Structure 1
């Protein structure tokens, strides 16, 4: 439920702005990880493809954040745009967890 005392732009700033910042953080971190590490459990092509998806999503988030800022929080983002970003972040988390698990086992 939404608080009817908050104007739409304030609601968007309260919810969307931190979400975009989170996406920016996780995509930057994932990009650095994928560029730095050689993942033995993924082929080079798989790792490159994931990195390309991260870079694409990162560009999309940066563009959305610029538009959000330029309109002073007057525009939202469609769920059809957010869902693929969430999938990429989730895939990166799974890859990082697998990498850490293998590192802990000494592989």
Structure 2
């Protein structure tokens, strides 16, 4: 955990900046995964919908980062914004795990 003696704005910046970086990393990986693979356990529409939600979250993240940077870390994010992002990342993680699980089962059968 961060230093509890940090002023409020520095504490916010020390917590929020790495979180935004993490979301950027996982949205980028998820987008790449969804754009380069066909998932047998999802319909094309379901996969397109998930990809669309990842792209929308990337745009929201880009806007949040611009505000955060423009205010030198003085702006926080509401949990109402973060929770859907977390849900999307979790949904993508589950899809990747299932993809690799099914891929592993197919390789075992061959």
Q: Distance in 1 between matches of 2:4 and 2:54?
A: 36
1:83 is matched with: 83
Structure with more relative contact order (C-alpha pairs < 8 Å, separation 6 or more):
1
How big is the shift at 1:3? Answer: 5.5
CA RMSD of aligned residues (A): 1.6
How big is the shift at 1:15? Answer: 0.5
How big is the shift at 1:106? Answer: 1.4
How big is the shift at 1:9? Answer: 1.1
How big is the shift at 1:4? Answer: 5.0
Structure 2 length-normalised TM: 0.92
1:48 is matched with: 48
Q: Distance in 1 between matches of 2:46 and 2:57?
A: 17
Q: Distance in 1 between matches of 2:53 and 2:106?
A: 29
Deviation track 1:64-102 (CA, whole Å, cap 9, x = no partner) reads: 011101110001001111000000000000000000101
Q: Distance in 2 between matches of 1:29 and 1:6?
A: 33
Describe the SS at the equivalent of 1:106: helix
Instruction: Report the number of matched residues.
Output: 107
Describe the SS at the equivalent of 1:68: helix
Deviation track 1:40-83 (CA, whole Å, cap 9, x = no partner) reads: 11000000000000000011011101110111000100111100
